[in-house]
Chain A
């Protein structure tokens, strides 16, 4: 299975915001907050297709996400704020009260076909 180490940053997206206000139990919210954005180069390297599911692992947990590509830095992955991202974020706040929502190491792994 192709895999790659990278850096995960949680972000806001317009769809995440709009779906959240429609309802946190809505299918749109659940889907958008489990949608990962990667650069075209990372896409190529991992041999991904738009809409493919991959597994993300961090020191704190794992999650399944759907892939979307967009211009951006290589090796940096973007996931909307929400319950899926929360499974991956560590608890450590380093005395600030804020966990590392923007920037922690993850491994991305494609699933069996």
Chain B
């Protein structure tokens, strides 16, 4: 039994915002009510601390083929950022693309205990799962890429609506089960297939070669299927036209098209751009925030930009190629047969660059203009808009208006013309920070035992010393507990336990329809028998029930 006493408890789900309280964790690693008897227990004094549930990252790139390719391509990211071996922790290197062990320690070191890898092609899922075995402490899950999947587009092109619906449900269920994925990820639907044909970019109603289905059909078809299967998390959507001036129109249209369906918009900052008269970028955060404020079911994570080095990596192959052409930086592309693609380009975001300064403001504007914190989730789309290690700095920007103003002084002076950030006075409360870093992501992911401190929830707890400098507060938690065990002290990991893998098991099971078996044999380069991710890669599964 563990007892954390004297802390101020922040648990938005229970309406607690700093009230003094005691949090107990039983020997089963779950939070429990304080025992009536004087059972022996470890007591941790959290005086002066804000006690919160462990953080939950809904969207991050931490393992798998594309992440590892990025690490391999960018040794310059590692030379100055390293952690030596200790008796209880492994060595590591890397800043924007830290190595597997380092990733676990760094996340836990900030009080995060659950993280989702956001983009895994089915064919390469085994790699992501094997690598996650070497990410210590945190619980993890993966999203399975489906927005450019050949078999999905083929089914969507079928005429009979009843059969189409049933077959799509079977296929999505099979893909999630065989890849041991947690959610359905859609990236630039149709756009990656189009890239492979060296064709142009996709609007919502542009037919995708060679099937003629449109991005709109792909998104609505998958979101309806997800509703039918009752998956805990909605369609995790990276919209079309990422990074392009004027793309907020597509984003708005996408939200309207999916109204009433389960979906989550990821790294919205990259999709919230208007277009100036000269064709350049300007903020359209207000337009999107207006829509979101009127639609309480919409959730988004922000993908806040952080100045400094970043490594962009997405399944959005055409967008990555554009970045390569614009910057001249080194470029990895990886087309994945039948399924998807990927690209990687390292970047440096600079406050004096007008475009970067606008992007930085757009993220903060979204965070400040959307009123209900439960619709907002803090991310940097790690490491696309910046590394996750910058979360404490972003928290300070949100909680401290003066600090924000001082940071804005470093921006390209013309930024005021294209953004409204300077006029926003809102400051987040600690309770709101708790919402956007743990409670809202856990709720959006359908994880009832995470992101809160109710009896029965996971004993994943972080205690941060309350202080004026909120960046320091969140950078070095006094204590972090995983399943009730102390794993971090003063921001430093002191243990390397293996986390759990979060999975779903949809009712439709894991059988590929017969005609698709035939397609599989003909067009994949591996056999069907060797395709599913085996149990050996998931030694600690935790199945989250479908609705």
A and B touch in the complex (CB under 8 A): no
A→B interface (CB under 8 Å): none
B binding-site residues for A, Cβ under 8 Å: none
